[in-house]
């Protein structure tokens, strides 16, 4: 239970962040527990996370602001292990370095800054930019379906239920927690899935019957991260789609015909020069 000082401070901070939210950040306390806050970071432009919807929690100690919160990001991002406590100077891993003057907005701005860097710490992972962009394209699906564990279907799109889920929090909750905390966003996500024909069980874009091609944004949802990503990243996404065949080819293989043509031309010139030299002798 929050102390009187913590309760008063968090109510004040909710008012502040609601009236003046930082760019790409929204947050609110849970209705049932003011010490549990839920945030959404929208991936900023010109980053591998662009347009992604990253949901996480801040769990404050009862004596906040004299101690920092535990910070987690639940949505698979390719940057953090889902639902894992993050070791940051603004988190509960380092209580002595926490400044009581820092507010919720300060903490989330710091988290965004760390996310878009490549610094490593406990709870962070390595992944390619391609993996992170693919994960960003799946975030809305993942949040609202619990990683594919939802029982909700979309007529003409759903292929069936997936009780185990794909990278969901533990066994997956069907998106119940996200819907509870973000009902408006959840409905927007389902509308987006319906419009883009995203299978709730798999996260894959399903083409209409007889369709021979799909839009670029739908094609992105068919990709899966490459092997260069970490095991945690690979476990957080669905299997589906196909990576372009030449993505892993070497430079020599992709340019073999050009190299062959240059080699042949060089051989002809060299042969001609040697022939002229012999004739002159």
Active-site positions?
A: 87
The enclosing H or E element of 35 equals strand 33-42
Distance (Å, rounded) from C-alpha 91 to C-alpha 164? 31
Q: Which two tokens stand for residue 129?
A: 């930019």
What string of DSSP letters covers 159-190? ----SS-SS-STT--TTHHHHHH-HHHHHHHH
Q: How far, in Å, CA of 13 to CA of 277, rounded?
A: 87
CA angle 190, 195, 200 (to 5 degrees): 45
Virtual CA dihedral for 3, 36, 234, 43, nearest 10 degrees? -110
d(CA 148, CA 222): 15
And the tokens for 263?
């080699």
Rg over CA atoms, the chain: 25
Q: What 8-state DSSP symbol labels residue 69?
A: P
- Residue with the two structure tokens 């919720």: 104
* Residues 6+ away with beta carbon under 8 Å from 104: 10, 13, 14, 17, 27, 37, 58
């Amino acid at each position: 239970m929050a102390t009187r000082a913590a309760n008063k401070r968090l109510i004040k901070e909710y008012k502040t962040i609601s009236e003046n939210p930082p760019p790409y950040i929204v947050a609110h306390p849970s209705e049932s527990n003011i010490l549990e806050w839920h945030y959404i970071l929208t991936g900023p432009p010109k980053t591998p996370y662009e347009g992604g919807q990253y949901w996480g929690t801040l769990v404050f100690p009862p004596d906040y602001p004299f101690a920092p919160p535990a910070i987690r990001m639940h949505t698979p991002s390719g940057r953090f292990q889902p639902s894992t406590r993050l070791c940051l100077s603004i988190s509960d891993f380092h209580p002595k370095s926490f400044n009581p003057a820092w507010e919720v907005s300060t903490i989330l701005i710091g988290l965004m800054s760390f996310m878009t860097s490549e610094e490593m710490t406990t709870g962070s992972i390595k992944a390619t930019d391609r993996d992170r962009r693919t994960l960003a394209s799946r975030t809305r699906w993942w949040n609202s379906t619990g990683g594919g564990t939802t029982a909700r279907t979309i007529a003409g799109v759903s292929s069936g239920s997936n009780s185990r889920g794909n990278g969901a929090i533990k066994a997956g909750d069907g998106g119940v927690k996200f819907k509870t905390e973000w009902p408006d966003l959840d409905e927007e996500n389902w509308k987006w899935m319906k419009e883009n024909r995203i299978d709730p069980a798999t996260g894959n874009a399903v083409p209409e019957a007889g369709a021979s091609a799909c839009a670029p944004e739908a094609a992105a949802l068919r990709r899966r991260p490459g092997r260069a990503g970490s095991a945690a990243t690979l476990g957080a996404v669905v299997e589906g789609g196909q990576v372009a065949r030449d993505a892993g080819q070497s430079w020599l293989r992709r340019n073999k015909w050009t190299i062959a043509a240059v080699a042949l031309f060089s051989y002809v010139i060299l042969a001609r020069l040697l022939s002229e030299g012999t004739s002159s002798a």
